[in-house]
Amino acid sequence: MSHQLNTRCTFRWFTRTAQAATIAFTLRLPAYAETPDVALSSLGCRGCHAEKEGQENGQLSDLASLRRFAPGEIASRLRDYRDGKRSGTVMNRIAAGLKDGEIEEIAGLLGKRP
């Protein structure tokens, strides 16, 4: 009985690990293809939207502290800046240099953590 349980657990563990590995692999894939590494790209954003380690909101400032926003909200704002649906000062110009997939992933890296 206990042996069966262990086998089932091991199998479940294996399936989950395989799933996680597949997701991780899919997400990592762009880093070694033609497209830029979005994790590295997102660090560029921190030249303005700085974050001090260990502090969710970074330094207090008049620039939006990105950790307050859900990734979906950041992504939709970036797309709106890029497509001219939202007016800004510099963000329209920066978002114009980003592609759809990159916007989603950058937003995921900079936004509120789950």
Partner 1 sequence: MNPRRRFLHLLAGCGFGWGLCGCTFGRFVRRNGSGRVVVVGGGYGGATAARYLKLMNPDLTVTLIEPRDSYLSCPGSNETVAGLKDMSTLVRSYDSLRRELDIKTVNAQVARLDRSRRRAVLTDGAEVPYDRLVLSPGIDFRWDAIEGYDEAASRTVPHAWRAGPQTALLTRQIRTMSDGGVVLITAPPNPYRCPPGPYERASLIACYLKKHKPRSKILILDAKTRFSKQPAFEQAWRELYGDMVEWISSEKQGRLERIDAVARTVETEFDAFRPDVLNVIPPQKAGALAETSGLTDASGWCPIDPVTFASPYDSAIHIIGDACRAAPMPKSAFSANSQAKVCAAAVVASLAGEPPPQPLLINHCYSFVAPDEAISITGVYGYSRNDGQLETRSAGETSPHGDRLREAIYARAWQRNFRTDVFGY
The least distance separating partner 1 from the CB of residue 77, rounded to whole angstroms, comes to 15
Binding site for partner 1 (CB under 8 A): 20, 23-24, 27-28, 31-54, 58-59, 61-63, 71, 89-90, 92-94, 96-98, 102, 105, 108-111, 113-114
The residue among 1 and 32 lying less far from partner 1, judged by its C-beta, is 32
Contact at 8 Å (CB) between 66 and 111? yes
Q: What CA–CA distance (Å, rounded) separates 38 from 22?
A: 18
The residue among 3 and 52 lying less far from partner 1, judged by its C-beta, is 52
Contact at 8 Å (CB) between 82 and 98? yes
